Structure 1
Amino acid sequence: MDVSKKIIEAVKDAGVVGAGGAGFPAHIKLNAKCEVVIANMAECEPLLFTNQALIQHHPDEVLQGLQIAMQATGAKKGVIALKKKYEACRKSLEGKIGYYENIVIHELEDFYPAGDEHVMVKEVLKRTIPMSGIPSDVGAVVHNVETLYNIKRAYRDGKPVTEKFVTVAGAVRHPLVVKVPIGLRFSELLDLAGGPAVKDYILVHGGPMMGSEVDAGDTVTKTTSALLVIPDGAFPHISRRARMEVLLKRAKAACCQCRICTDMCPRYLLGHSLEPHRIMRTVSYGLPDTEAVKNSLLCSECGLCEITCPMGLSPRRINSRLKRLLQEKRIRFPKSNVERERPERESRKYPTKKLIARLGLYNYSHQIQYANVRIDAKEVKLMLRQYAGLELVPLVKEKDEVKAGELIAKAPEGKPGINLHASIDGVVAGIDGSSIVIRRG
């Protein structure tokens, strides 16, 4: 077996997925041939410091993971794309990068969403990914830096993914970045941060822009980058309270077709045919504009349209609903080349500082340090669907004793998927259609 196949098998066996997004299986990305592997270190969502802490404390592991990904894909070059403002991360990497061949640092401007794959490839390589395309269409593969960390541990150390680096921030008493076992309940993460510092709040899994609302009883998965306490009155709190039927009524009553949502859309500025203002008009008045509706499949759901709309509407959430309806009907947007990017793109990059102020989170936006503490979880709840793919099949039964790192679930036979491993030593306390609970002792 050649080296690339060994790497792919090791990463597949370890259950490595994209650590910062939808959780796409990493071994599938590694199976694509490319010219350049890009390490995504933009971390462009406000309040998140997970990747920054990882780079500062584990630069060698990330660089080795990038080197391994280059070996698997046949890439001749590796690029760590990080924001220029991350000075501590750059210093940490500069002290190590000289020992690794063909790896360079590319500094990004401080704008949102610099971490979007289409945007990042354009910034780093000056190449435009086709609409509905992926980075490999233009000779690139993009991995989150924590994914690269896990790739190194899988291939060099034989370690499966059982832990996750997580930012706990927002309106908490002691914000921190911490490494915890997968399956830890969010209530325990909040306890580590001293608990909420406000009475009325929502919990957001991920960033304030693209993250989803969760309950304290939910658990850490392989894609959990952050747990944020968003106070009442902040924009993410207000926007997530509105029901879809209300959003549709507001769109019909208030959308003035100013097209600011379109003019600020990062995908539109790249040259995509996505025009949110047309979608809003079509949905509001039931117009037969099937092209506009189908173009919603191009939306990355970054949420800038929501932030910039002068009428307080949410094209993002309406696009998201349309996408689900189209996908249920198996309607796809055909891959097609972008003619050219919009000439105004550079001047319309949205500054992160402005975004934080607009979100009403300025008081919570400060540097957060990594807490290198040992977490002895008494119980974990491991979800059988925590990545982009099919639900996993349990390999254990109730009352079985398991060790941390032991394989406990895998994809259905003959189907694409990833492996799931126990994150603590203990006994299987319960199995249902969606999770496996392991209790220590």
Structure 2
Amino acid sequence: MLAAMPDSAPSPLSAGGASPRDGGAARATRRDGGDACPGTLRLHRADDGALARVRIPGGVLSADRAEALLTAAARFGDGELHLTSRGNVQLRGLGTECGGELAGLLTAAGLLPSAAHERARNIVASPLAGLDGSGGLGAWLTELDRLVCGSPAAAALSGRFLFALDDGRGDVDALGADVTLIAEGPAGAGAALLRIGAADEVFRVPAAEAPRAAMRAAEEFLRAARDSGAWRVKDLPDDVRAELVTTIGSASGPAVARPRPRTATPPTPGPLGSAITADVPLGRLTPTQWQLLTDTARRYGGELRLTPWRGIVIPGPVPRPEASEALRTLSASGLITAPDSPWTGVGACIGHPGCAKSLSDVRAEAGAAVGVPGRLPVYWSGCERRCGHPHGEWIDVVATPDGHRISHVRGERRDARTTVRNDPARLAAAVAESRAL
């Protein structure tokens, strides 16, 4: 089925969410229309063809499944693969009648284990878990995905509802998930912390029960949202959200004060212990780059991890001399393999001409403005929806009818805005100055 919808979920900074300008609490949002978030069985009609979003729980992808995605992109789409801010993969330029064949290919590859739950499998996980002295999250990820796919109720979750599995470093805890599990101690041994939405308190649960506690929380959300039409925890009326947290807490362990981190820290591109990390300019991978990453992963353990910051971790182990050579090869293909790349921290939505709502070709504009890496990430949006924007502190560049508006965002607040009109050189200079703050 092909359903018309926005390219991705409206940003929390757009109408209907918390307003960064007033710094107030999130307002309740009622969704009157059906959830049209795309998947692999429900494609989205974009200006460059149909779009499919393939959920990759935890961003964990075997080399064989990566090959299947490349085959799908080449056979049905424009050949490129696009990483999302949830570590998923989008295929673009699809023919409108390819849905059945695409689903068959992905099912055969193990990428579509449940047709009823394919859009509900939104799980992000700390991409460095188990690689730099932290505990692994593989058991939690496998079990939570199994529980989601096995829950009849979970099939009703919005395609925007998000689970996060954090190994304790706070990286994905900062992403604003609806249900977050935080490991305490190595591999979450002994206990885990359960957070509902942006609540400042968490509930301690046994580590072995953590995935089931997360699934119960999601099912409890569905009951709480029945009358409100909310798709996410932040959309609930304040009193309903507070009651939800209390209800889940009563079925969990003791409450612990732990405010959610404001800023996520993505992996630094380059070598990392026995692993290697590369970022993807604007999240867009050519067939050659994807094949190169897949071949590299196949030589060293056969796994890739897609990050919520549009990067890829190859866990390895990769011997140090070979890591340097692998990174040089990846860099030569156009990937980001060092933190001093001009592309570090630069992101953008698909923009014009791929999206009909975009007022500008923001990807080309972002490329024209790259320069010395700034302290802050920058995200270019073609319209006020700001699809795929980062979290925490960042520079927000939005195309408007009056020019490009530049703002400094800190969590739920933003500074006074500057607008640059029809002057590429001045725009690049203003963005660079803002990123250096």
TM-score per shorter chain, which class? under 0.3
Give the helix-richer structure, 1 or 2. Answer: 1
Query: Normalized against structure 1, the TM-score is what?
Result: 0.27
Query: Which one has the largest radius of gyration?
Result: 1
